Structure 1
């Protein structure tokens, strides 16, 4: 992996976040504006990244096996991350509910909203495709285990699985089916997905930047002293653990690097939605999301350097 590409990409991300913040200082970013941006990113730009990756990769049996392997690694990683962070949360004597919140904030990364565009930029179209597969593992974990843990009654409902079937996941399914059956999309579709895929990273970073000024204005209400705990696990400890495990089993190459980078992503934005619905403490998640996102501009290049 070229560290220069990583550093350049992260610097560009930082600049786009800054532009989004400057925009938010001049214009009132309403809930409607945020909603439209999220819809465009998750339902248009990210699926375009996925399809562009699939259309650019020869979907052989080896490629499908690779995708299955990454999906399996993702499931094992996310389950293991939840368990590891929870153990340390208990060791630090966090109270039951608070320990669960710190566990979720520290274990779940933004492998979709930021991870897919970043992987596509660094590793090319195949990287975007496999990053989407990795993110699918996160979705399965979130809408089964995580929601089960957050629900007061502690029961799993089959209707929770409906959330796993979203536009990015449907893009994966459609793209793989098209590739396996030998369907060749028209050149117009290929060009369209390629152009829309280029919107994913800029729009995601601008969106993150737009949400920063309102957060800073109410910092006295939302910042909490234990913030170091989830940020340490999310940005440093978990990716380092993955690196050590991969070195012990001699798993290397660009796919290993991609998985380590996905493990180093900032806190997942979906956590804010989950906390809002199940705990009524959205601000805790928002602080962790923005704190980890800003710090990741420094920690992702560091993790990339350690992988050399």
Structure 2
């Protein structure tokens, strides 16, 4: 019973904040999604990543191992998903990227923080950065048929990761006023992302719900299995193990819907995956956390 209450205390803030965003839109209040998303991804999240890496107490070797494990996990998940899409004769441009990449930002980072504390967040930003780089290259190639390496170079979160890793490697420290300022900005990231997730969910027009239920369940199984395999292969400690599995297992991100709309894939079907997988995660992620904690 104690474990159940612990898990509920972890996941409740995540879905309550998303619910606030959902209710905000349904009540007819204005929410400029593009502006808030840009604020979060251009400023708040990069500051969160940078300060988490600069101030980490974790061994750099452990972060390197987690990076490699994350890459292996996504390679394994990609291989199984692409084989599944071929076997089911689904449209690769529509379904491949959403089934491979999860919502490691809006849902994964908050869950990592609430479940595993600051150490969990430090691990989680590594997995998030790996996912972001892969989604901006391999992910866009799957949807549009062309990579976007130049876009990766323009992403602030990529440079925040590189800069934070450099500071960590060299043992450099930020001036206190800079560290405090960036820390405050970074604290905006998690509530902003969660409320924005709820807003985006309220505005989606999903279709193919029956198929989305089946594919969302398959995605969860494939992602948990791939991450679990990679974590075991690299011998990750309990916290890093839990973070990798939790991050890779997150539901389909709203950005997958945006990419589908931008590049001419079936955006309504992707919207169905976003809605169904996110609703499914309300039950699935607490169960997964109960196993990982």
Question: TM-score range, shorter-chain basis?
Answer: 0.7 to 0.9
Query: Do the aligned partners of residues 7 and 269 (structure 1) sit closer, same or farther apart at CA in structure 2, a change above 3 Å counting?
Result: same
Establish whether residue 150 from structure 1 lines up as the match of residue 143 from structure 2: yes
Cα deviations by residue, 1:272-294 (Å, 9 ceiling, x for unpaired): 23212222432222222232223
Establish whether residue 94 from structure 1 lines up as the match of residue 89 from structure 2: yes
Aligned partner (choices 273, 283, 288) of residue 298 of structure 1: 283
Query: Do the aligned partners of residues 168 and 125 (structure 1) sit closer, same or farther apart at CA in structure 2, a change above 3 Å counting?
Result: farther
Q: For residue 246 of structure 1, report the CA deviation from its aligned partner.
A: 4.4
CA distance in 1: counterparts of 2:216 and 2:69, whole angstroms: 22
Query: Do the aligned partners of residues 51 and 249 (structure 1) sit closer, same or farther apart at CA in structure 2, a change above 3 Å counting?
Result: closer
CA distance in 2: counterparts of 1:247 and 1:274, whole angstroms: 32
Establish whether residue 64 from structure 1 lines up as the match of residue 60 from structure 2: yes
Q: For residue 181 of structure 1, report the CA deviation from its aligned partner.
A: 3.2
Establish whether residue 279 from structure 1 lines up as the match of residue 278 from structure 2: no
Establish whether residue 203 from structure 1 lines up as the match of residue 192 from structure 2: yes
Unpaired segments of 5 or more residues in structure 1?
none
Q: For residue 300 of structure 1, report the CA deviation from its aligned partner.
A: 0.9
CA distance in 2: counterparts of 1:44 and 1:52, whole angstroms: 12
**8 Å Cα contact 1:52/1:193 also seen in 2:** yes
CA distance in 2: counterparts of 1:83 and 1:267, whole angstroms: 17
**8 Å Cα contact 1:9/1:122 also seen in 2:** yes
Aligned partner of 1:26 in structure 2 is 27
Aligned partner of 1:270 in structure 2 is 255
Cα deviations by residue, 1:56-110 (Å, 9 ceiling, x for unpaired): 3147xxx22222222222222112211102222333x324xx2453232221111
Q: For residue 131 of structure 1, report the CA deviation from its aligned partner.
A: 1.7
Q: For residue 304 of structure 1, report the CA deviation from its aligned partner.
A: 1.4
**8 Å Cα contact 1:74/1:137 also seen in 2:** yes
Unpaired segments of 5 or more residues in structure 2?
none
Per mean C-alpha deviation after superposition, the further-off stretch among 169-178 and 236-245 is 236-245
Aligned partner of 2:129 in structure 1 is 136
**8 Å Cα contact 1:275/1:285 also seen in 2:** yes
**8 Å Cα contact 2:143/2:263 also seen in 1:** yes
**8 Å Cα contact 2:53/2:164 also seen in 1:** yes
TM-score normalized with structure 2 length: 0.86
Any residues of structure 2 matched to 1:186-265 within 5 Å, and which? 186-215=175-204, 218=205, 222-243=207-228, 246=231, 251-265=236-250
RMSD (Å) for aligned C-alpha atoms: 2.6
CA distance in 2: counterparts of 1:171 and 1:247, whole angstroms: 28
Per mean C-alpha deviation after superposition, the further-off stretch among 236-245 and 264-273 is 236-245
How many aligned positions are there?
Answer: 290
CA distance in 2: counterparts of 1:4 and 1:103, whole angstroms: 36
CA distance in 2: counterparts of 1:210 and 1:130, whole angstroms: 27
TM-score normalized with structure 1 length: 0.83
Aligned partner of 1:85 in structure 2 is 81
CA distance in 2: counterparts of 1:21 and 1:66, whole angstroms: 38
CA distance in 1: counterparts of 2:233 and 2:127, whole angstroms: 21
CA distance in 2: counterparts of 1:248 and 1:44, whole angstroms: 35
